[in-house]
Each structure stands twice: as C-alpha cells, then as structure tokens.
Structure 1
Amino acid sequence: MRVIVTRPAAQAAQWVQNLRERGIDALPLPLIDIVAPLDTAPLAQAWSQLPQQRLVVFVSPNAAEQFFAHRPAACGWPDAVMAASTGPGTTQALQRAGVPAPAIIEPAGDAPQFDSEALWARLSARDWSGAAVLVVRGDGGRDWLADTLRGHGAQLSFVAAYRRAAPRFDAAAQALLGDAMARPADHLWFFSSSEAIEHLVQARAGHNWAAARALATHPRIAERARASGFGDVRETRPTLDAVVACIQSITS
C-alpha cells in the first residue's frame, strides 16, 4: 500500500523520507502550493518592529520558514521576544532558522493534538495584559488563538508570510493521482490540512471517494474528509511514531 503525503512540497519531502526510513512506501503529492505574498512590505515592517513584541506566534512550519526567508541581513532573534509554535514541525523550522530553544513555547509533548488549543494551554498561565503579540500566518486562517489572546488583554497584529494556492500537477503527480483514483485499496491518503482535501476534491470534481482511505492528523481534518465522501477515515496524532503506528495497524 502506498501512502500519499499531501503536505506542501517541503514538508511532504521530509515526511516521505521519514516514512520510507520506517519501511513504508510513501510518495509526495502536495495539495497546497506555498507562494510569496503579493506585497512583502508588511514583512519588512514586521521584522523592523520585532524587538517591540513580547510574543510572535507561528501558526505552521510554512509560517516560520517564509517569515525567516524575508529576514533582513544580519538580523538575529531578539533576546526578550518569545516565539510560539503550534507543534514539533514548526519548532524545528524555528530552530533551523536560529531561534534559541529556550525562547520557544510549544504544546506539551503528550498533548492529544498539536494545535492552537494545545498551545494556549502553555500560554494561559501568563499575564498578557497590554502585551504586543504578532501572529505570523498565511493569507487568512483560524483566529481562535488570536481571539483568545486578545480576550486576555493582548494587543494583536498580523502579518501574512505566504499565500496558499491550489496545486499545479505535473505529469508525475497526474499519474499518481490517476493511479490512486483507479486503485483506491492500494493507496492511503495522508491529510494534515482540510484545505488540501478541498483542493483534491475540486481538482477531480464529481469523483466518488467512497472506496478511498484517509489518515487525518486532527478531528477537524477527519471530519472534512468524511464530508468529502472518503469511506474509511482514521485519526492520528501528528507525530511520526503515531502516524507510522496507525499506518501499520491499517496494513496489518
């Protein structure tokens, strides 16, 4: 059985490598393209004002990677500023970019999910009254954490570090997609984004996904897969060990 990794290209490549090292036949089929924002001036401004923030929230690995891709030359991470991460992938991206580990706040390692709610569990004990908080994200997104911080007195600002776009399938991607649709029992879709599911369904409008199987890293994503017609949808924590265990349970 082939596992189809649908994350954006950079993360898909890493997941494919990790899964293959565990003996799993995995192939990338990115269902979200990550592209630069139309206007990068807000990113330059965000970097210039970075020392004034108490906290910078990075909503995903892409948010971290794209924010640092626009870092001015010789600009380091300010000592007094904390970086908030929604999960291990984002934390790794921040550390690769040079953010010191002690400056990073992330969900507990045993959190049921790596999401905004799990991150808030680590932030909630702090006093956010009057604190300047910058949220780094794509073009839009879920505002639950921002609304929660604002409700506790934080002064919120936002910057879009990238845009999400529908995928452009090359010949290899078209072939993999066609094979997966023709032989659903031999493939497992690995989803970490509801938007990826939407792009897939839109790209093949009218296709019946009832025979297809999917693995989702969050209940909201699993719900979207079921609503899209996937007949067998499993949920897993988004760690490598949990994903591998779930895949093995399906194939055993």
Structure 2
Amino acid sequence: MSVVLTRPRQEAERWAGRLRARGHASLVLPLIEIAPPPDLQPLRAAAADLARYRAVMFVSANAVQGFFGVAGGFDGPRAWAPGLGTRDALRAAGVPPERIDTPAPDAGQFDSESLWQQVQGQLHAGERLLLVRGGDGEGRSQGREWLAQQLAAQGVTVDTVVAYIRRCPSWGEEERALARRAAADGSLWLFSSSEAAANLAALLPGQSWAGARALATHPRIALAVRTLGFGDVRESRPALEDVVASIESVG
C-alpha cells in the first residue's frame, strides 16, 4: 500500500522520508503550492515592530518560514503554535522552547481551540496580538477567524499579516494519471488540509473517489474529504507516530 502525500512539496518530501524510514512506500502528489506574498512590505513592517505585540500566533510552519525569511530576530513576544509542525519550525528558527505556547500534549486535536485552552488568560484588554497566516493567490489574508474572535471578545487587538500564499498547483497528464491510479489501487491518501481536498476536486473534475481511501488529520478535514466522495475516510492526530499507527491499522 502506498501513502499519497498531499502537503506542499517541501513538507511532503520530508514526510516521505520519514515514512520510508518506517517501511511505508509513499507517493508525493502535492495539492497545495506555497509561494511568497506578492508584496513583502507589510510582513517586513510587522517583523520590525514586534515590540508592540504581547504575542504572535503562527498558523503553520509555512507562516513561520515566511516570517523568519524577513525577520531579523524574535525578541520579546510569546509565540503561539496550534500544531507540532509549527512548534518545530519555531524551534528551528531559534525561538526558545520556553517562549512557545502549544496545545497540551494529550489534546484531542492540535488546532486553535486546543491552543486557546493554554493561552486564553495570557493577553488582556488593550494588548495586541500579531496573527501570521497565509493568503490566497492574490495575497489576501485567508484562514479561520475563530481564535481572533475569542481575543477580540476580550478586548485584545488582532493585527493580521500574510507570510505566504497558497494556490492550487498546475498538474500535467503524469500527475493526473498518478492520481487516477491512486483513486482505485488501494492507496491511502493523507490529507492535512481541507483546501487540498477542494483543489483535488478542481484538478480532477468528475473523478469518482468512491473506491478511494483517505486518512485526515482533523475532523473538519475528514468532512471535506467525505464531501468530495472518498469511500473510506479515517481520522488521525497529526503527529508522525499517530499517523504511522493509523496507516498500519488500515493495513
């Protein structure tokens, strides 16, 4: 059984190496393409003005990499990370572990809701948070507003800056052929984004997924994959050990 990795290419290649080391074959078939925002000036300005923020929330590892691509350092604020990949990217960027806030290790999910359980008393009315996130193909801010809404309700000002853009990749006939084969040969598709499912529908319109199998790393993502038509959709926590255990349980 091959595992189809749908993350952006750099992440997918890294996961492919980890899975091969655990004895699992994989197919890298990215469904999201990552690129710098068309205008880097707002990101540079935010990175140069960190002293005004009590905390900075990075929505993903890509947000970390985009931010630290222009930032000269990270002195002062807390760094919020909703998932382990984001946490690891912050550590790799040189942020001290004691300044990083993440969901509890035993959290049912790694997302904004679980992160909020750890940080909700950290900021107070009149303070500011910088939300570093992705944007659409035009560079417009894009993402869930749940955590920003919780902060706003407490009187915290949330400023948003785009550190990268996400767009649907361009597929040639080779990628389409690989995807069609993986839809029917027992491969297990690994989804870590609802957007990836939407892009798959756009890249292969009319494709039947009734015989396809998928593993999703969040209930919202699982719902998107089921809506696409996958016949067998299972859920897993996003950490490598949990994903590997779920893969091996599928057989």
Using the size of structure 1 for normalisation, the TM-score is: 0.94
Please list every run of 5 or more consecutive structure 2 residues that lacks an aligned counterpart in the other structure: 136-141
Alignment of 1:174-193 (within 5 A): 174-181=176-183, 184-193=184-193
Question: Which is worse superposed, 19-28 or 132-141?
Answer: 19-28
1:178-231 Cα distance to aligned partner (Å, 9 max, x none): 3213xx242110000000001011111011111000000000000111111100
1:69-91 Cα distance to aligned partner (Å, 9 max, x none): 122xxx2211x210000111001
Call closer, same or farther: CA 1:249–1:105 in 2, change over 3 Å. Answer: same
Query: Equivalent residue for 1:239?
Result: 239
Structure 1 Cα separation of the partners of residues 92 and 173 of structure 2: 32
Structure 2 Cα separation of the partners of residues 63 and 170 of structure 1: 28
Deviation at 1:243, TM superposition (A): 0.6
Runs of 4+ in 1 over 3 A off after TM superposition: 170-175
Query: Equivalent residue for 2:22?
Result: 22
Alignment of 1:18-57 (within 5 A): 18-57=18-57
Deviation at 1:168, TM superposition (A): 2.0
1:88-136 Cα distance to aligned partner (Å, 9 max, x none): 1001111111111111101111111100001100011334221110000
The alignment yields a C-alpha RMSD, in angstroms, of 1.3
- Sequence identity percentage: 47
Call closer, same or farther: CA 1:172–1:67 in 2, change over 3 Å. Answer: farther
3-state secondary structure, aligned to 1:162? strand
Structure 1 Cα separation of the partners of residues 181 and 123 of structure 2: 53
Opposite residue 77 of structure 1, the aligned amino acid is F
Alignment of 1:2 with 2:2, yes or no, is: yes
Opposite residue 209 of structure 1, the aligned amino acid is W
Count of residue pairs brought into register by the alignment: 245
Opposite residue 148 of structure 2, the aligned amino acid is A
Structure 2 Cα separation of the partners of residues 165 and 131 of structure 1: 33
Structure 2 Cα separation of the partners of residues 207 and 172 of structure 1: 16
Paired residues of 2:171 and 2:203 also in contact (CA < 8 A): no
Query: Equivalent residue for 1:76?
Result: 73
Alignment of 1:11-160 (within 5 A): 11-71=11-71, 75-78=72-75, 80-139=76-135, 140-160=142-162
Structure 2 Cα separation of the partners of residues 202 and 168 of structure 1: 10
Query: Equivalent residue for 1:165?
Result: 167
Question: Which is worse superposed, 120-129 or 166-175?
Answer: 166-175
Query: Equivalent residue for 2:139?
Result: none
Using the size of structure 2 for normalisation, the TM-score is: 0.94
Please list every run of 5 or more consecutive structure 1 residues that lacks an aligned counterpart in the other structure: none
Structure 1 Cα separation of the partners of residues 177 and 185 of structure 2: 16
Question: Which is worse superposed, 171-180 or 123-132?
Answer: 171-180
Deviation at 1:164, TM superposition (A): 0.6
